[in-house]
Amino acid sequence: MSHAPCQERYLGMRPGDLDSKPYARFWNPRMAPLAQHFREALARGPVATPLMPAVADSARALENGSCPIENGYALLPGGSMHLALRTDLPGTSPEMVDWWFGWHSAEPERYKLWHPQAHVHAAWCAKNPPNAPSLRGRERYLGRTSCVDEYLGSTLGSYAIRFIPPAELGFDEQKLADPRRATCVCARVGFANLPFDFGYLAHHVSRVEGGAVMHSRFWVGGSYAAPRRGGLLGSAVLWGVQRVLKPRRTDAEDLLVHCAQEMPHLASFLPEIYAEFGTS
C-alpha cells in the first residue's frame, strides 16, 4: 500500500479551496479548549497497566460500561501503549458517526473540517466500490482503507487506517445491530508509505439522553506492530519493527490531545452536516 501523491498537501484552507464545496459553511478553524477531564488525564501521566485493558478484554469492558479509566494512558513494559478517552457528543447519534466515517475521506477538505489545526489530507486508498451509492452506515467504510496525512503534536505523519468489523476486536455484533442505539468504528492502523501496521483503534458510540457518548481506545506499538506482508520478509523484520515502534510518553500525550480536540469539534457540527448531507 502506498500513499500516492496527488495534490499539494498543506494545513488549513487556502483561498478557493471551499468555493465549490456545498459544505463550506462547516469550516471553523477555531477549536474549543481541552475539556477539564482531558487536562486532568494529561496532568496525571501514565496509569497502572492493569487499569488499561488490552484489545482482548476491552470490548467486554466497553459493552458493560465497566472501564476503570475513561481518560488516560498506560505505557506497557513490552513497548506498547494503551490509551482511553471519553467524549460526550450532544445532539449526535451513533448512525451519524457511522455516516461520518464513510463520508469524510472522499475529499481532503472534508477531513480538514474534523480537525482544522492538524488534518492535512485524506483519500480512500482504492476507488469506490461499484455499488457505493446504495451503501449505508458501516457498509460505506468497512473493508476500506483511508490514507491520511495529519499532525500528531508537531510531527506530520502519513497513516493508513483499514476499517475492520468490530467482531475482529471482540465486540458483539448483535449489540451493534441497531445503529440508532450503538456502533463501533474499528480499524487496523499503520504507515501509508511503509508496509507496517502499528496498532488498533476502536470508537464505541452509545446513545444516551440528549445525544451519544463515545469511548475511544487505541493500542499502539510493541506487540501490536507487525509487517503488513507475511512470509520470510515478515519473519525477518518483525522483531526489529516491534523494538523500534515503542511509543514514548510524549507520543501518548500527543495522541490523547489530538483525539480530545477532534472528537468534540466534530460533535459541534455533526448533527447539522448530517441533516444536510446524510443521504449522500
Contact 75, 81 (CB under 8 A): yes
Longest dimension (CA), the chain: 53
3-class DSSP state of 125? coil
Mean pLDDT of the chain: 90
Residue 65, in any domain of the structure: no
Strand partners, 216: 85, 203
- Split into its structural domains, the chain has a count of 1
Q: What's the domain range around 107?
A: 76-231
Kindly give the interhelix angle for 249-277 and 94-103, rounded to the nearest 10 degrees. Answer: 100
In a domain, 105, yes or no: yes
Residue 18 domain flag? no
Is residue 255 included in any domain, yes or no?
no
More confident residue, 138 or 24: 24
- Between 135 and 228, the more confident residue is 228
Residue 256 is assigned to a structural domain of this protein = no
Residue 134, pLDDT score? 65
CATH classification of the domain holding 141: 3.30.530
Q: Look up residue 132 and give its three cell numbers.
A: 457505493
**Do the Cβ atoms of 215 and 62 come closer than 8 Å?**
yes
- What does the pLDDT look like over 221-256, one tens digit per residue? 998 998 886 555 555 565 555 555 789 999 999 999
Give buried/exposed letters for 136-167 (b at 16+ CB in 10 A, else e). Answer: ebbebbbebbbbbbbbbeeeeebbbbbbeebe
